[in-house]
Amino acid sequence: MVELDKSGEKMAVVLVSGGMDSAVAGGLAREAGYGIYALSFDYGQRHRVELEAAGRVSAWLDAVEHTVIRVELERIGGSALTDDIAVPKDRSGSEIPSTYVPARNIIFLSIALSRAEAAGAERIVIGANAIDFSGYPDCRPLFIESFQRVAEIGTRMGVEGRAPMVWAPLIDMSKAEIVKEGIRLGLDFGITASCYDPGPDGEPCDRCDACRLREKGFSQAGAMDPLQKDR
Amino acid sequence: MVELDKSGEKMAVVLVSGGMDSAVAGGLAREAGYGIYALSFDYGQRHRVELEAAGRVSAWLDAVEHTVIRVELERIGGSALTDDIAVPKDRSGSEIPSTYVPARNIIFLSIALSRAEAAGAERIVIGANAIDFSGYPDCRPLFIESFQRVAEIGTRMGVEGRAPMVWAPLIDMSKAEIVKEGIRLGLDFGITASCYDPGPDGEPCDRCDACRLREKGFSQAGAMDPLQKDR
């Protein structure tokens, strides 16, 4: 098994989606002194421009690696993000939307746990947040706690009493607070991508949940989104 | 979202590895009246002959589908099953062996949970057993319970109070009991494959943990393994 990095640096596996949340979460891990294994997924998402953004974010994080793992979730179906279902626009209401990918964060955390265990990393970092979010059940603090328990019981590291800690540093932050943290960390938000349904050149649709939450965050933080400035 | 099968039959997602345990577990699900979505993984395993066996087992189960999902776990590393590490032979002792794939059952259950949720299945069936097993932490009853909690908290079905039940019907059975159950269910064990390190024509090595546990099960059950009979 690959053990801790030769430098003795403490390491974290960061789930990097290409969006602003995981970029800020990764920035907080780096600020806390962690070396970073960046991990992204090619899961048949329609917004594949996010994988390019994930590469830019990983470079900003000085990640020692950026691994993109293919997982054929488009063969599972059931979501507007991977299936032939329209992405909802200008949505109101609090029900779980059709962009929910069944068990997506559980799958991503499981593979991050596998990578953390293979590499001997101490933390798994996820940008989930439960305040200004789309209502996905796998973004709530209780979910993170339940997954932590799985990591403690279901892995070799857990049996040895050193399960990786699942760290969701944004879990209680509003989108405005996340924008402010990103600004403080020196993140150029122009390298990130949030839209679920971008145009042919990757331009955001401005109307899906992800675009609207992002706009709300910048607006409430009194900041300008570089993705809007150039348009 | 695809809902319950048109026939109204209750459905289960069965993790079919191609080995005898998942075949017997699936057989018990069928006996309990479930229609079956069979799910297997192409995860870079060196014993790929098991995917052919998984297809035969799915046919025996009368599965309405057999989906093989590609997950690039060979890019995670850390295991003799996916990495360039020798499969241990004639092993003694109770430590977790190098064939342990970090968090493998967590990943497989997560994807099964996604499929169950997309298809509206009531159960997820896994052939894990904790008696005559290789010492993997993700085969223990406490692990199954911890994953059940994740399913209840981290999914839309869970929020709606109808999370799929993770069912491990073999969890407390010895290998001999599993062999006897398979015989009772009419399973031809010749269609299954257990070896971690099979020869070029798929013939078992007889010396890895999987081969030795299988041999022990047949021997204690007083039965003949058809994979041995033909040799």
Exposure string (b/e) for B199-226, b if CB count within 10 Å is 16 or more?
eeeeebbebbbbbbbbbebbeebeeebe
User: Over the stretch B44-58, which tens digit does the pLDDT of each residue have?
Assistant: 887 778 999 999 999
Contact residues for A118 (Cβ-Cβ < 8 A; gap 6+): A1, A2, B76, B77, B78, B79, B102
> Which domains are seen in chain B, by residue range?
11-221 (3.40.50.620)
User: Over the stretch A133-173, which tens digit does the pLDDT of each residue have?
Assistant: 667 888 889 999 999 999 999 998 998 999 999 999 999 99
Instruction: Give yes or no for a contact between B187 and B21, defined as CB atoms under 8 angstroms apart.
Output: no
From residue B170, how far is each of A114, B24, B27, B33 by CA, in Å? Answer: 25, 8, 11, 17
Asked casually if ipTM beats, i.e. exceeds, 0.90, the reply is no
Q: Cα separation of A207 and A212, whole Å?
A: 6
- A191–B contact, CB cutoff 8 A: no
- How much of chain B, in percent, has pLDDT values that exceed 70? 89
Average pLDDT, chain A: 89
If DSSP codes are grouped into helix, strand and coil, which group holds residue A195?
Answer: coil
pTM of the model: 0.90
The span from the first CA to the last CA of chain A, in angstroms, equals 49
Question: Element (H or E) spanning A69, and its range?
Answer: strand A65-70
pLDDT band at A4 (very low <50, low <70, confident <90, very high): very low
Instruction: Give yes or no for a contact between A34 and A10, defined as CB atoms under 8 angstroms apart.
Output: yes
The order of strands in the sheet holding B123-125 is: B65-70, B35-42, B11-15, B123-125, B165-167
- B17–A contact, CB cutoff 8 A: no
List, as ranges, residues 153-172 from B with C-beta within 8 Å of A.
153-156, 158-159
Q: Cα separation of A118 and B77, whole Å?
A: 6
From residue B30, how far is each of B6, B7, B191 by CA, in Å? Answer: 18, 15, 18
User: Over the stretch A43-62, which tens digit does the pLDDT of each residue have?
Assistant: 988 777 899 999 999 999 99
Instruction: Give yes or no for a contact between B199 and B161, defined as CB atoms under 8 angstroms apart.
Output: no
Instruction: Give yes or no for a contact between B125 and B105, defined as CB atoms under 8 angstroms apart.
Output: no
List, as ranges, residues 65-84 from A with C-beta within 8 Å of B.
67, 69-73, 75-79
A107–B107 C-beta distance less than 8 A = yes
Contact list in A for residue B154 (CB cut-off 8 A) is: 103, 105-106, 137-138, 143, 146-147
Closest CB to A138: pick one of B67, B147, B154.
Answer: B154
pLDDT band at B89 (very low <50, low <70, confident <90, very high): confident
List, as ranges, residues 24-53 from B with C-beta within 8 Å of A.
none
Q: How many CB pairs under 8 A join A and B?
A: 157
Which of A84-88, B57-61, B65-69, B164-168 shows the lowest mean pLDDT across its residues? A84-88
List, as ranges, residues 92-151 from A with C-beta within 8 Å of B.
96, 100-107, 109-111, 113-119, 137-138, 140, 142-143, 146-147, 149-150
Nearest to B60 by CA among B169, B188, B171, B164: B188
